């Protein structure tokens, strides 16, 4: 940063000032002094014209009001910005609150304790509470509307300072003995503050100031120190919070009067006086520090004694109360900014984010790109690229190849002009100084510098891509200690330990700069070390007469500009060879030119003798060390090229950084360009060409060429274009020479100078509508092309009309105005873009109509089909795929959208073989999700009956084991058997098809596969599919008959169950059989059933005992014999397989004629069949 005094205001009557405070929001300055003096001043608010000049605008007083009400010396003034109030207090303890009304300040409230004097007052961050401390230890906290919230008397203490924390939860009270006590916001004591800065201090001391920055503009770093405490002996500590035990310590070495943070907490101003050895009186100075204790600048202030200071709200000015004067100083901050390829890159802090907000503002298109960067150190730019130097994020893992060193702590991120990171490099030295050339980035700490030869992907050839991984080996990154003398021949390695083992140097680096050919490193002693690039070899050392703050090389590396710490600009010629008085030849010479108060300078990119510099609020342009007349501005110089200086008003931009305005980019033309333009306008082309011949520059020749073109002086124009090497210009002049018509030439020149309306009018006046249309097509103004086409005859313009409609459609589509685009695409018959628009509009009916209107096999049909697939419209997608003869894609779509029946149908219709694998895949997917019934349904729909039956049998078996209701299990077995029957039927049909020779090859193959599967299967259900159904049918029938009282019928049915022990558990079968036999008094059968039950291994001992006890009870009463043996003979015969069994009654069928079910092939007596509508077993219609 650079600071200089710019204005002085005298207080009438030479009244000595005691305090000053600058309102951060409205810009009012309140100053209090002896004899009740209280004034409110305001510097003029800037007009639009003045804004362009920034700080260079004159700043007169727009408000100068004396406030009357105090009689004693006014000692404390403090603003409440949020509620526009001013609170003041004098030596008599009188407090007055002033309010703003119609542009003037009036008394609103008065308070006087009449006991003690007010030492300090402080409003909290939101302006709702004020804390007032009196010398006698009384503390009052009041609200903005004048009500007292609480009061407390801290007995035995003398208070002198108070400060609120940013969250208003903590109060700091400064005591007259130098102690600082921490209280909560209700006035309860918490703890004494640890004062590290007072260690080893002897003698009396008092607090000069406590200022706690509240983070209103964000912080420059996460966890940044923000609470400053300073003592009159010059000792100062800056803390992160009130309990920080490791604060930043500063010994200013001066007698301190007052301290204050700037608007964003990045600079602490410390005002006071310094004893000088040469002079008897003290010198008033203001020292400026960063929150980390680094000294930035010193400002000397005239006068006897400085009493107070206050910053302006934007941090660009500071007001100092000295004796009976107010001095104003302008500040030129070291913004973090840069300029690359028409883009201004700047960084600022925000209260809502811990990171820096870095804005890449493209000034050409007025577009901005925002990037958030933690712990940003600096921004450096060159050409099209930008390097952001930051501290490494400790939580973020670093790539292995990036850090061969021991956990790098800093990062250099190479970005393009829209903020896209291209290449990060992790380094171990703090990048205090960073410079950049076309090929290198050089970063330096105080004792070492790091050289990185960067590459950008777009510039890599195919062969070089393989080498990128070996960047370290190629020596593209090197590090050197400033005390080393590298030869440049050895391929230096990235050895951090070598640079770090010298824990510093006696002569630290203070500035660096580089060009394509050389690197210059400035050291605090004034030594300037010259290294060659890219080899980095020490060439020589020069000696400067100052401590360099900023170095800058001109475009041919012959001169270096040096700005020192006090803002003095000097020049050093690197090429001059001087013979000293001893006859020794020296290289390098200090030039005679010296300028003071310089805070920025920039060499011209295309002329080694041209440079621009900023001196206070004036910009000077120098040619051969001779200045031109200055321009009033306070902009930062972006670029100096083509005799034009581009300057950016960063002060104005950073007042509203989220909305940069193009008005804040200013272009200045230097005198030779202005003179040449004036000559051409006033004198003529010939005389001007002589002047430009004497002062040649490509920009001036171009100016002459353009002026000659305007006057159709083609010869001069051609010569001038040759001199400025503009090949396109030469070709244009040649083309003009070939035109016969004068008006045609004028029209072409008008088009060349972008006066398109004029050129078009000329073409139309010549009746050359085709040329007017051609011009508009070149410009891409298709709306105008369409207008011109419609005004003509339009015979041969159909193709052009179609092109225009399509181009306008593209215009609307690019802006996502799909509805407008559709209208033009319809007229331009652009079916491809029309489909895209319908899709974006979700107009699927329109898309379907378009697909239907397209001819078969149109190349657009697959795209439309995929659009339908993406939104799940299966039918339309299939129709589109079939129309372009892609049945496989149609089937894939059906599968993708779970339309399996449609997929199967399509596969059959188009004789596709791979449907089996698709079904298997889908079925396995369903089974994984335990959707077995869905899988069965899938197989059934696809005519894979055998697979379906297998699954159904599996379910039936599982249900049977679970002891589910027998009727449900029977139904499941019936369904399984029915599927097997369908499978058999399918095989038979396939066989018939084979015989007849009518069936397709695919169907025959499928049937053959199924047949083999069934025949080779070892599954029990394949041979006799109805066994399970029969078992449960008879099981249910026997129980129904038993409950009805038909005990004989129940016994006959129960006897059939003996064949089904593999399906129904034996204990169930024989329990039922024993029960039926007992009820039928067939005790022999009952006895056998009990024998069987008692021999079952599955029974537990207690169960077996129960059966034995029951058998004993029955057979002691009844002999195990049966009287009805003859009735069961038929039954036993049928069980041996001689007779069919009636599924309705369980009886054997003795008649010759009986009914057989066409589905399950089971029989029934005619009498039973006549009374039923359905088969009792399979429930098919009779």
pLDDT at 710 over 70: yes
The model's pLDDT over 171-202, given as tens digits with 9 standing for 90+, comes to: 999 999 889 999 999 989 999 999 988 888 88
pLDDT at 787 over 90: no
Predicted confidence band at 343 (pLDDT cuts at 50, 70, 90)?
A: very high
The model's pLDDT over 562-612, given as tens digits with 9 standing for 90+, comes to: 999 889 999 999 887 766 666 566 777 888 889 999 999 999 998 899 999
The model's pLDDT over 193-246, given as tens digits with 9 standing for 90+, comes to: 999 888 888 888 899 999 999 988 888 888 899 999 999 999 999 999 999 889
Average pLDDT for 444-448: 92
Contacts with 795 (C-beta within 8 Å, 6 or more apart), sequence order: none
pLDDT at 375 over 80: yes
Query: What average pLDDT does the structure give for the chain?
Result: 84
Average pLDDT for 795-821: 85
The model's pLDDT over 925-942, given as tens digits with 9 standing for 90+, comes to: 677 777 777 777 777 766
SS3 620: strand
DSSP label at residue 889: H
The model's pLDDT over 884-901, given as tens digits with 9 standing for 90+, comes to: 988 888 888 887 887 776
Give me the pLDDT at residue 266, please: 92
Cβ neighbours, 10 Å, residue 1156 = 12
Average pLDDT for 468-486: 70
Using alpha carbons, select from 193, 289, 277, 173 the residue that is nearest to residue 234.
289
Between helix 742-752 and helix 756-765 the angle, nearest 10°, is 160
pLDDT at 21 over 90: yes
Could you give the residue ranges of the DSSP H alpha helices within 599-726? 650-653, 671-682, 685-694, 698-710, 714-723
Q: Which residue bears the tokens 């001779």?
A: 626
What does the block give as tokens for 372? 């958030």
Contacts with 797 (C-beta within 8 Å, 6 or more apart), sequence order: 789
pLDDT at 503 over 70: no
Q: CA 174 to CA 168: how far, in whole Å?
A: 17
| Burial call 1057-1091: b when 16+ CB within 10 Å, e when fewer | beebeebbebbebbbbbbbbbbebbbbbbbbbbbe
Give me the pLDDT at residue 496, please: 59
pLDDT at 249 over 90: yes
Alpha-carbon Rg for the chain in angstroms: 50
Predicted confidence band at 1059 (pLDDT cuts at 50, 70, 90)?
A: confident
Give me the pLDDT at residue 256, please: 94
Q: Give the H/E segment covering residue 619.
A: strand 618-623
**1048 or 552, higher pLDDT:** 552
Contacts with 754 (C-beta within 8 Å, 6 or more apart), sequence order: none
Give me the pLDDT at residue 279, please: 63
Q: CA 967 to CA 959: how far, in whole Å?
A: 11
Window from 6-10, 319-323, 1128-1132 with minimum mean pLDDT: 1128-1132
Average pLDDT for 343-357: 91
Average pLDDT for 248-272: 93
Q: How many CA atoms lie within 13 A of 251 on its CB side?
A: 7
Window from 378-382, 706-710, 1115-1119 with minimum mean pLDDT: 1115-1119
The model's pLDDT over 1094-1144, given as tens digits with 9 standing for 90+, comes to: 888 888 888 888 878 788 877 777 777 765 554 555 455 445 556 788 888
Contact, 389 vs 377, CB < 8 A? yes
Give me the pLDDT at residue 48, please: 59
Q: What is the dihedral of CA 777, 778, 779, 783, to 10 degrees?
A: 0
Contact, 545 vs 566, CB < 8 A? no
Average pLDDT for 341-361: 91
Q: Give the H/E segment covering residue 916.
A: helix 915-928
Predicted confidence band at 752 (pLDDT cuts at 50, 70, 90)?
A: confident
Predicted confidence band at 434 (pLDDT cuts at 50, 70, 90)?
A: very high
Average pLDDT for 753-761: 86
pLDDT at 1 over 50: yes
pLDDT at 400 over 50: no
The model's pLDDT over 682-698, given as tens digits with 9 standing for 90+, comes to: 887 877 888 888 778 88
**1134 or 975, higher pLDDT:** 975
Q: CA 371 to CA 56: how far, in whole Å?
A: 32
**528 or 475, higher pLDDT:** 528
Give me the pLDDT at residue 793, please: 61
Give me the pLDDT at residue 360, please: 95
């Amino acid at each position: 940063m650079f600071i200089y005094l710019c204005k002085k205001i005298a207080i009438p009557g030479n009244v000595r000032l005691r305090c000053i405070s600058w309102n951060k929001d409205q810009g009012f300055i309140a100053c209090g002094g002896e004899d009740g003096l209280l004034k409110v001043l305001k510097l003029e608010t800037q007009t639009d014209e003045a804004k362009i000049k920034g700080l260079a605008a004159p700043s007169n007083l727009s408000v100068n009001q004396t406030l009357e009400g105090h009689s004693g010396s006014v000692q404390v003034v403090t603003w409440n910005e949020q509620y526009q109030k001013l609170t003041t207090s004098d030596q008599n303890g009188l407090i007055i609150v002033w309010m703003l009304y119609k542009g003037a300040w009036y008394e609103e409230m008065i308070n006087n304790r009449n006991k003690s004097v007010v030492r300090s007052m402080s409003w909290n961050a939101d302006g709702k509470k004020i804390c007032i401390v009196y010398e006698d230890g009384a503390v009052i906290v009041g609200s903005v509307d004048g009500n007292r919230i609480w009061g407390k008397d801290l007995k035995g203490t003398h208070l002198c300072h108070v400060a609120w924390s940013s969250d208003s939860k903590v109060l700091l009270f400064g005591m007259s003995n130098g102690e600082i006590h921490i209280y909560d916001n209700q006035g309860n004591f918490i703890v004494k503050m640890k004062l590290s800065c007072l260690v080893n201090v002897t003698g009396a001391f008092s607090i000069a100031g406590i200022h706690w920055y509240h983070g209103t503009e964000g912080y420059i770093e996460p966890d940044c120190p923000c609470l400053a405490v300073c003592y009159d002996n010059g000792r100062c500590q800056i803390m992160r919070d009130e309990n920080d035990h490791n604060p930043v310590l500063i010994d200013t070495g001066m007698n301190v009067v007052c301290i204050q943070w700037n608007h964003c907490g990045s600079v602490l101003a410390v005002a006071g006086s310094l004893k000088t050895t040469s002079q008897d009186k003290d010198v008033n100075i203001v020292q400026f520090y960063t929150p980390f204790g680094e000294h930035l600048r010193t400002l000397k202030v005239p006068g006897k004694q400085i009493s107070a200071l206050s910053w302006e709200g934007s941090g660009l000015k500071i007001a100092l109360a000295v004796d009976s004067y107010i001095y104003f100083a302008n500040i030129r901050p070291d913004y973090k900014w840069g300029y690359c390829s028409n883009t201004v890159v700047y960084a600022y802090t925000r209260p809502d984010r811990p990171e820096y907000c870095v804005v890449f503002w493209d000034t050409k298109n007025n577009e901005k790109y925002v990037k958030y960067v933690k712990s940003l150190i600096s921004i450096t730019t060159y050409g099209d690229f930008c390097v952001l130097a930051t501290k490494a994020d400790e939580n973020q893992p670093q790539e292995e190849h990036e850090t061969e060193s021991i956990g790098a702590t800093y990062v250099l991120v190479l970005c393009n002009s829209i903020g896209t990171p291209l290449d990060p490099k992790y380094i171990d030295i703090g990048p205090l100084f960073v410079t950049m050339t076309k090929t290198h980035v050089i970063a330096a700490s105080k004792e070492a510098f790091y050289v990185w030869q960067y590459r950008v992907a777009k510039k890599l050839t195919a062969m070089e891509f393989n080498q990128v991984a070996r960047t370290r080996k190629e020596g593209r990154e090197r590090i050197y200690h400033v005390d080393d003398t590298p030869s440049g021949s050895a391929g230096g390695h990235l050895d951090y330990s070598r640079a770090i083992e010298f824990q510093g140097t006696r002569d630290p680096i203070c500035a660096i700069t580089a060009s394509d050919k050389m690197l210059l490193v400035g050291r605090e002693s004034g030594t300037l070390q010259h290294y060659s690039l890219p080899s980095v070899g020490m060439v020589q050392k020069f000696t400067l007469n100052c401590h360099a703050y900023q170095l800058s090389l001109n475009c041919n590396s012959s001169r270096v500009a040096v700005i020192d710490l006090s803002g003095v600009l000097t020049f050093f010629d690197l090429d001059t060879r001087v013979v000293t008085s001893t006859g020794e030849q020296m290289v390098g010479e200090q030039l005679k030119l010296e300028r003071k108060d310089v805070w920025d300078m920039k060499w011209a990119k295309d002329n080694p003798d041209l440079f621009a510099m900023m001196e206070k609020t004036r910009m000077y342009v120098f040619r051969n060390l001779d200045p031109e007349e200055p321009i009033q501005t306070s902009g930062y110089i972006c670029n100096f090229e083509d005799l034009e200086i581009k300057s950016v008003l960063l002060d104005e931009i950073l007042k509203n950084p989220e909305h940069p305005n193009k008005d804040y980019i200013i272009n200045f033309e230097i005198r030779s360009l202005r003179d040449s333009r004036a000559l051409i306008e006033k004198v003529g082309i010939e005389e001007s060409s002589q002047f430009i011949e004497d002062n040649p520059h490509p920009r001036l020749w171009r100016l002459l060429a353009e002026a000659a073109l305007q006057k159709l002086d083609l010869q001069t124009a051609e010569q001038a274009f040759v001199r400025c090497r503009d090949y396109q210009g030469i070709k244009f002049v040649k083309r003009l020479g070939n035109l016969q018509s004068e008006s045609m030439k004028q029209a072409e020149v008008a088009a060349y100078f972008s006066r398109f309306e004029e050129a078009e009018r000329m073409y139309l006046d010549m009746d050359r509508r085709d040329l007017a249309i051609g011009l508009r097509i070149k410009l891409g103004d298709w709306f105008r092309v369409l207008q011109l086409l419609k005004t003509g005859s339009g015979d041969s313009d159909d193709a052009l009309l179609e092109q225009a409609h399509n181009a306008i459609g593209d215009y609307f589509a690019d802006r996502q105005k799909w509805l407008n685009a559709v209208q033009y695409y319809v007229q331009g018959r652009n079916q491809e873009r029309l489909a895209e628009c319908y899709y974006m509009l979700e107009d699927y009916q329109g898309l379907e109509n378009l697909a239907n209107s397209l001819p078969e096999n149109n190349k657009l049909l697959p795209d439309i089909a995929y659009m339908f697939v993406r939104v799940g419209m299966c039918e339309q997608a299939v129709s589109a795929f079939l129309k372009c003869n892609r049945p496989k894609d149609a089937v894939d779509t059906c599968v993708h959208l779970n339309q399996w029946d449609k997929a199967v149908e399509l596969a059959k219709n188009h004789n596709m073989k791979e449907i089996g694998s698709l079904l298997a895949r889908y079925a396995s997917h369903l089974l994984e999700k335990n959707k077995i019934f869905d899988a069965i349904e899938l197989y059934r729909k696809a005519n894979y009956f055998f697979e379906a039956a297998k699954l159904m049998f599996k379910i039936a078996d599982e249900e049977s084991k679970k002891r589910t209701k027998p009727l449900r299990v029977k139904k499941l077995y019936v369904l399984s058997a029915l599927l097997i029957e369908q499978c058999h039927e399918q095989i038979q049909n396939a066989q018939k098809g084979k015989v007849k020779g009518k069936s397709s090859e695919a169907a025959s193959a499928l049937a053959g596969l199924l047949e083999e599967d069934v025949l080779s299967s070892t599954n029990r259900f394949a041979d006799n599919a109805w066994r399970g159904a029969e078992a449960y049918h008879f099981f249910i029938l026997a129980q129904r008959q038993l409950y009805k009282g038909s005990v004989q019928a129940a016994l006959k049915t129960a006897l059939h169950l003996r064949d089904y022990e593999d399906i129904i558990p034996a204990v169930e079968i024989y329990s039922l059989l024993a029960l039926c036999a007992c009820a039928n008094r067939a005790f022999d059968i009952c006895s056998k059933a009990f024998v069987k039950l008692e021999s079952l291994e599955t029974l537990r001992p207690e169960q077996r005992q129960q059966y034995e006890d029951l058998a004993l009870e029955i057979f002691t009463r009844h002999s195990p014999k049966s009287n009805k043996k003859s009735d069961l003979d038929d039954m036993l015969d049928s069980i041996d397989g001689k007779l069919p069994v009636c599924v309705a009654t369980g009886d054997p069928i003795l008649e010759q004629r009986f009914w057989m079910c066409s589905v399950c092939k089971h029989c029934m007596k005619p009498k039973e069949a006549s009374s039923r509508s359905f088969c009792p077993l399979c429930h098919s219609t009779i």
